[in-house]
Structure 1
Amino acid sequence: MGEPQQVQLHIMSRTGEEENSTEHINATGTGTGRPTSSQGSNYKRWLRMAIYTLFLISGQTVALLLGRLYYDKGGKSKWLGTLVQLVAFPLLLPYYIIIIMSSAPKNPINGVHSKQPSTLIISSVYVSLGLLVAGDCLLYSIGLMYLPVSTYSLICSSQLPFNAFFSFFLNGQKFTPFIVNSLVLLTISSILLVVQTEHSVFAVSKGKFVIGFTCTIAASAGYGLVLSLTQLAFRRVLKRETFTVVMDLIVYQSLVATSATVVGLFASGEWRGLSTEMEEFELGKVSYLMTLIWTAIMWQVFTIGCVGLIFEASSLFSNAISVLGLPVIPVLAVIIFHDKLGAIKVISMVLAIWGFLSYLYQQYLDDFMKPKAEDRNGNEDSNASPPAPP
């Protein structure tokens, strides 16, 4: 589900807290503390955040629904379904250039100019993550091929606990009661979708349903792994979190993932059936092309929203909005694809939202309440200490 464009979503959330709790990246790519601007500036900032949020949710929702439409009306290529998630990344370049031209130079984290890794090491990071992203997008495509989009989107919400799980081992993520609660709720939410007795009007065999479910779970786990590895790469290898470095990662990683997908498309032989697939598409040739083109474009709209929220607020906020937008899709699927939103799916949706809110609340405590408490304790200690002798 557009994974290479989402790789950046968690890269700053935990690292910045551990190394410098006041380091944040704003929309221009310059390092600042938390916003302390005038009311007018805050109003403009929140307006920009609202626009980016609209881009993120609308891009994700429309892209997933169009992806389901492609398979629903006769599309059969899992590699082509993967390619449209990746191939339109050059559309980000004008956005990249505009931001670079309007931004001032930004110092690395903590203002320390550490020795930069060699080109070979950086290239290895881009290639490794790019290949992982390509495989992850392929798993998501298989899941979307075999599952109703409502079921698919609910399973995708499990990416949050998977990210917490891998971050525990790779980045020292602490498990708190709220995170454990999120893990349990989202796990139960996914299990309920397996044991449901009805699969809506979506005609698929039990075997394909199991394959789709397994691939989507594996893709969500892979997404959590990619996020954790990306965070680790920024801390241990790249050692910078500037706008340029983040966008370099997105562009080069997307280039590698797109290239790998193109190779897979030709190596699998699926490219031979694309002309026949277009001829037999139920909505016609033009609709076939428009479905693929707009799917690719909407994933990039989603990406602009993601990147914008990262620099206006935080990576956590950006990814949280992404997950929060997933429950919108089952409701639209009922209207567009006539999916049945039975009791099991409703309960699963409620548990998924509950688990998401539990995870988000823990991050709120870490990002906002803990720094305030530390500042308050520091001020109290300062006031309690005797004045220095003259």
Structure 2
Amino acid sequence: MGEPQEVQLCLKGQSAATLLGKLYYDKGGNSKWMGAFVQFVGFPILLPCYYISSLKSTTTNNFNWKQPSTSTSIIVLMYVTLGFIAAFECYFFSLGLWYLPVSTYAIISSSQLAFNAFFSFFLNSMKFSPYIINSLVLLTISSILLIFQTEIETEVDHSIESSKKKQVIGFICTIIASIGEGLLLSLTQFAFEKVLKRETFNVVMDVIIYQSIVATCVTFIGLFASGEWNGLQNEMEKYEMGKTSYVLNLVFIAVTWQLYSIGSVGLIFEVSSLFADALSVLAEPIVPILAVIFFHETMNGIKAISMVLAIWGFTSYIYHHYLDKTKFDIENRNTNQV
């Protein structure tokens, strides 16, 4: 699989999963824990790829899921921590998607890149270049602008669903989720560098699968503990598109999130973790455009300006990593020549 295909899996997978998640809520879905659960439960489709790569690694004596200097308890704690953060981060994302229009939700979600840079400064020794600072400022302004968008939407539509209280709750939940996602990305990079101390395909698959197992268990428990499990049968029967569409929608959400994971894994393996992280949030500006097409959401001036600022912030962030990679390649070339 080449890099262009993996880039497409990342962008299309995340965009499709977000839109399908909104479709689930728009047509009668109500369970926030189910919205989080389906983001992880599809991980078994990765197991065949993982099994084949493990066989190849065993043949070449490269398969060893833990380093000799790292205790099993530390690695298990790492997977549990990442899984818990992923589970609750996705739960808050589900709340945000429930309360907000998908276009507004997607633009606010782009702030995760700013939080990722913030946490990377402390956890991954990331240096704040002018391009990173520019990205942080633009993404912050982009999210703040949507506060005014919320006020406008509330004044125009006085229905319960668009009340100011729910708009604010959706905004706060999405910001909390973005903080969690930024922390998760930085901790994952930290795990590769300090705990696992290598980045092979098998190790990356270990992180994704074990993290998904933990997150699946957490969201499954949340689904039962919250009592939302009891309403799923009634939810399915009253789903506007029918029972079959209800099941297929959830299945497609699970599959598309895993397609995104496959693309992300490939980019981590072939390029770098930071590049994959930056690319994953590049899909966020695509969603508002698709929301206008498929959900007939309005794209007024404030939302359009916010989206442009978010895209500008993404471009600045990715350009920073492009310069870093170029500099690294030049240094390696000079070293090899010497």
Structure 1 regions of 5+ residues with no counterpart? 1-44, 383-390
Residue in 2 that maps onto 1:362? 320
If the length of structure 2 is used for normalisation, what is the TM-score? Answer: 0.91
Deviation per CA, 1:229-268: give whole Å up to 9, x if none. 2222222222222221221111111111100111111111
More helix by share: 2
- CA gap of 1:105–1:155, structure 2 versus 1, over 3 A, is farther
1:227 to 2:181 alignment = no
Shift, 1:105, TM fit: 5.2
1:64 to 2:18 alignment = yes
Distance (whole Å) between structure 1 residues aligned to residue 181 and residue 289 of structure 2 = 24
Distance (whole Å) between structure 2 residues aligned to residue 178 and residue 55 of structure 1 = 27
Distance (whole Å) between structure 2 residues aligned to residue 313 and residue 378 of structure 1 = 20
Residue in 1 that maps onto 2:33? 79
Deviation per CA, 1:319-370: give whole Å up to 9, x if none. 3332222211111111111110111111111100111111111111111135
Write the letter of the residue equivalent to 1:59. G
Distance (whole Å) between structure 2 residues aligned to residue 272 and residue 98 of structure 1 = 39
Write the letter of the residue equivalent to 1:254. S
Shift, 1:143, TM fit: 0.6
Deviation per CA, 1:83-120: give whole Å up to 9, x if none. 01111111111122233445655599xxxx96332222
Write the letter of the residue equivalent to 2:15. T
Write the letter of the residue equivalent to 2:18. L
Shift, 1:377, TM fit: 9.1
Distance (whole Å) between structure 2 residues aligned to residue 257 and residue 149 of structure 1 = 24
Distance (whole Å) between structure 1 residues aligned to residue 195 and residue 102 of structure 2 = 38
1:191 to 2:105 alignment = no
Match of 2:224 among 253, 266, 280: 266
Deviation per CA, 1:257-283: give whole Å up to 9, x if none. 100111111111111111111111111
Question: Which residues of 2 match residues 1-390 of structure 1 at below 5 A?
Answer: 48-102=2-56, 104=60, 106=62, 115-196=68-149, 197-198=152-153, 203-372=161-330, 376=334
| Equivalent pair of 2:6/2:264 in contact (CA under 8 Å) | yes
Distance (whole Å) between structure 2 residues aligned to residue 332 and residue 101 of structure 1 = 41
SS in 2 for 1:181: helix
RMSD: 2.2
Residue in 2 that maps onto 1:386? none
Distance (whole Å) between structure 1 residues aligned to residue 188 and residue 7 of structure 2 = 23
| Equivalent pair of 1:334/1:340 in contact (CA under 8 Å) | yes
More displaced 10-residue stretch of structure 1: 228-237 or 368-377: 368-377
Distance (whole Å) between structure 2 residues aligned to residue 373 and residue 313 of structure 1 = 17
SS in 2 for 1:198: helix
Structure 2 regions of 5+ residues with no counterpart? none
- CA gap of 1:358–1:222, structure 2 versus 1, over 3 A, is same
| Equivalent pair of 1:107/1:242 in contact (CA under 8 Å) | no
More displaced 10-residue stretch of structure 1: 292-301 or 97-106: 97-106
Shift, 1:311, TM fit: 2.0
More displaced 10-residue stretch of structure 1: 361-370 or 206-215: 361-370
| Equivalent pair of 1:116/1:238 in contact (CA under 8 Å) | no
Deviation per CA, 1:192-224: give whole Å up to 9, x if none. 111111379894211111111111111111111
| Equivalent pair of 1:149/1:333 in contact (CA under 8 Å) | yes
Write the letter of the residue equivalent to 1:213. F
Percent identity (aligned): 57
Distance (whole Å) between structure 2 residues aligned to residue 325 and residue 176 of structure 1 = 23
Deviation per CA, 1:167-186: give whole Å up to 9, x if none. 11122211111111110000
Write the letter of the residue equivalent to 2:83. G
Distance (whole Å) between structure 2 residues aligned to residue 148 and residue 135 of structure 1 = 21
Distance (whole Å) between structure 2 residues aligned to residue 235 and residue 54 of structure 1 = 27
